[in-house]
Amino acid sequence: MASQPCLVSRIPSPASVSGRRGSAVGAAVLTVLLAGCAVGPEFRSPAPPETGAYLPDRLPATTASADTPTGDAQRFLEGTSPPDRWWVNFGNDQLSQRIEQALANSPSVASAQAALRQAQENVNAARGSLFPSVDANAGATRQNGIAAGTPGTSPFTVYNAGVGVSYTLDLFGGVRRGVEAQSALADLQRYQLEGTYLSLAANVATTSILEASLREQIRATEEIVDLYRQQYDLTSKQSEIGAKSQADVLVAQSQVATASAQLPELRKALAQTQTQLAVYLGRFPSEAEFAALELDAVKLPIDIPVSLPSTLVRERPDIRAAEAQLHQATAQVGIATANLFPTITLNGSYGSQAARGGDLFGSGTEAWSLGLNLLQPIFRGGTLRAQKRAAEAGVDKAAADYRTTVLTAFQNVADALRALELDAAGLKAQADAEQATRSSLDLVRIQYDDGAASYLQVIDATRLYQQARIAVIQARAARLTNTAALYAALGGGWRGTDAAAIAAAQTISN
């Protein structure tokens, strides 16, 4: 909300100008006073950061690729913003349904929506102070003659009814600055609502990917356990005929137990992930029943938007919220400044007073009044000046908080971009390692069957393959989760409006 700057301090006193010119200047002063002004600083949105990049070095055109699922090379499209409903780029309907159900049912969203409605009504309440207040009153009073000033008179009843009007001239913009401050708080709540949508969508996406990754890790570990168990059974049989020692049997048995011990931890992590998803979707943990989300069914987005650094401050809800806080703090300085100046209130009333209710507003019963009150603070023990200085300190704090938010946002984007670049290289390395350990395990098994390798070599080759396979699963999940993190770091497609998210949420809800 922009207010006109106050001109009172720059208008000469009528006493300093003589004659007709003085009268004209006096009329100008009166016009300005009646129109009102707004003291205090005018808010201006902070300038975009001057930096032109997120990273010290230039982004590669594409990331590395790997010959494995989720191993495609990603392209960075600089100068483009993330789309609305970015999660559909992962090509999984179940993931999209989870996110949109969370947007519709999460109590955190409902809380943010209620906070926004509350802030908007506070703006409406503040705007009401810009208008005159009109009140009707009616009553009856039973009194005796002493109260009326005429001793000896019998008790009687006085009836009255009327209308009163009061209007405080907003000469120095204190009321308008108050409306401005409340409007800024409403903006803050709107951006916080957008931030709630964004963080909730990102959390559901990353947690769902983690769930799929854990399922895959459990499946891989179960296969390794089964492989160890087969090897143990074979070694036991060979030991019975004297082909293997009892030591080989004990080693095989320990490998089965060691691999099996990993499963409870993985299953515990999966259960905790599912209860977290239930809470995100607005359900109780006992209702955490989800169809299995397979990691292979989640598509890696190929074309990755990278907003210009100059536009990031307009696309991140948390930055816009910090700007709204700075706006509100600036308006508070105007309120504190206006409190130092005079307050003029106009009062008027019209009514009737009679000894009988039926005589109200009859001839001779009317009563009216007009008044003007001026209040000029003279001495408040330094309170008003201290409040103004406190408000100015609040602006300095809000400005510092805004810069911190911007720096953190750029850090988020830089970390996500670097993660995507290195995740791709990491997945390629892990996929190569898995291929190599698989080939090594196959070779050692053949050598073991031919008696050219020891059982310990088989165990070691199996362990390396197990580690490589789990690492590939984790690397695949990392590429997906860090892609979702980049979408969120860039603002998630909400640019000053949450209409698309609300419409999507309402569609799912209905």
Domain ranges of the chain: 8-12+24-130+170-205+272-341+382-509
Task: Give the separation between CA 5 and CA 26, rounded to whole angstroms.
Answer: 20
Contact 169, 36 (CB under 8 A): yes
Which strands make up the sheet holding 366-375, listed edge to edge? 133-143, 156-169, 343-354, 366-375
Average pLDDT, stretch 457-467? 86
Give pLDDT tens digits for 251-260. 888 888 988 8
3-state SS, 50-102, equals CCCCCCCCCCCCECCCCCCCCCCCCEEEECCCCCCCHHHHHCCHHHHHHHHHH
The answer to whether residue 404 scores a pLDDT higher than 70 is yes
CB 479 within 8 A of CB 420: yes
Tell me, what amino acid is at 163? V
CA–CA distance, 460 with 451 (Å, rounded to integer): 16
Instruction: Please write the tens of the pLDDT for every residue from 28-42.
Output: 444 444 445 789 899
Render pLDDT for 269-288 as a digit per residue (tens, 0 to 9). Answer: 999 999 999 999 999 998 87
| Percent of the chain whose pLDDT exceeds 70 | 88
From the candidate CATH numbers 2.30.30.60, 1.20.1600.10, 3.30.360.10, 2.60.260.20, the one assigned to the domain spanning 8-12+24-130+170-205+272-341+382-509: 1.20.1600.10
Structure confidence at residue 508 as a pLDDT band (50, 70, 90): very low
Mean pLDDT of 446-467: 84
Task: Supply φ then ψ for residue 378, to 5 degrees.
Answer: -115, -50
User: Does pLDDT of 487 surpass 70?
Assistant: yes
Pick left, alpha or beta for residue 405 (phi over 0 → left; psi -120 to 50 → alpha; otherwise beta).
Answer: alpha
The two three-digit tokens of residue 371, written as one number: 């008044």
Please tell me the pTM assigned to this model. 0.83
* Rounded Cα distance, 492 and 32, in Å: 47
Place of tokens 């109590």: 107
Confidence of residue 145 (pLDDT cuts 50, 70, 90): low
Higher pLDDT, 294 or 150: 294
The SS3 of residue 32 is: helix
Report which of residues 150 and 90 the model is more confident about.
90
Residue 304: per-residue pLDDT: 94
List C-alpha distances in Å: 108 to 245, 321, 434, 437: 62, 17, 42, 47
Spatial separation of the C-alpha atoms in residues 481 and 478, rounded to whole Å: 5
Q: Is the pLDDT of residue 5 over 70?
A: no
What's the mean per-residue pLDDT of the chain?
86
Return the pLDDT at 334: 95
Provide the pLDDT for residue 20. 46
Q: Taking Cα atoms as reference points, which of 136, 123, 133 lies closest to residue 178?
A: 123
CA angle in degrees (0–180, nearest 5) for 171-172-175: 90
Q: Is 78 exposed, middle or buried (0-12, 13-18, 19+ CB in 10 A)?
A: middle
pLDDT at 421 over 70: yes
SS3 62: strand
| Position 9 pLDDT exceeds 60 | no
Quote the DSSP letter at residue 168.
E
Does 17 score more than 50 pLDDT? no
Query: What's the confidence (pLDDT) of residue 229?
Result: 86
Task: Identify the pLDDT of residue 33.
Answer: 47
For residue 54, which phi and psi values (nearest 5 degrees)?
A: -95, -30
Cα separation, 105 vs 324, in Å, equals 27
Residue 499 confidence (pLDDT): 43
Asked whether the predicted pLDDT for residue 208 surpasses 80, the reply is yes
pLDDT tens digit sequence for 360-392: 777 877 888 899 999 999 988 899 999 999 999
CA angle 184, 187, 190 (to 5 degrees): 155
Mean pLDDT score, 133-137: 91
491, 257 Cβ separation under 8 angstroms: no
Alpha-carbon span 468 to 107, nearest angstrom: 41
Highest-scoring range by mean pLDDT, 93-97, 152-156, 491-495: 93-97
- What letter does residue 5 receive in the DSSP assignment? B
Q: What's the pLDDT score for residue 10?
A: 40
75's tokens: 């392209």
Q: Give me the residues paired with residue 165 across strands.
A: 134, 348
For every residue of 206-233, DSSP letters joined together read HHHHHHHHHHHHHHHHHHHHHHHHHHHH
How far apart (Å, rounded) are the C-alpha atoms in residues 91 and 394?
46
